[in-house]
Amino acid sequence: MSQSLSKVFVHLIFCTKGRAALIRSEWEDQLYAYIVGICSALTSPVESINGTSDHVHILFCQSKNHSLAKIAEEVKKSSSKWVKVQNYNSMFAWQGGYAAFSVSSSKIDAVRKYIEKQKEHHQKETFENEIIEFMKQYGVSNFEKKYFFE
């Protein structure tokens, strides 16, 4: 077969450095739009993006031409630089790691709705509980809490 085809959906989650409340409501929509642009440039269209003041969730269709690590690195590096260039926060930074989970095509709508309701969700649920639940659901037993909660 000379053609390469791929349709892999990914739910990517990452936090601000130290989980500090650095993302301000006044400019978060612009940040999300910028991230959507980065993903588009990497041929990884975003299905949904949202978050809170200290973390972001992105549902996207991963490009067959770019690794997940490359996409996460570019999104975090470029968006952090953008926040600084816009003079929103000269100390802005993302945490070193990320969490990423595959999403079945049959679950896209459910994940999209979940991401869209992040602010409401976190009025009742802590980020720590959210990540621990994801790790349980996906059978990830070797994650180190310090990369998310410290």
Domain positions in the chain: 8-149
- pLDDT one-digit tens code per residue, 13-51: 999 998 999 999 999 999 999 999 999 999 999 999 999
Question: For the domain 8-149, what is the CATH code?
Answer: 3.30.70.1290
What is the Cα–Cα distance from 125 to 148, expressed in whole angstroms? 15
Q: State percent of the chain over pLDDT 90.
A: 74
* Burial class of 135 by CB neighbour count within 10 A (0 to 12, 13 to 18, 19+): middle
Give the count of beta carbons closer than 10 Å to the beta carbon of residue 106: 7
pLDDT digits (tens, 9 = 90+) for 2-18: 788 889 999 999 999 98
Q: What average pLDDT does range 80-109 have in this prediction?
A: 94
The span from the CA of 150 to the CA of 148, in Å, is: 6
pTM, to two decimals? 0.92
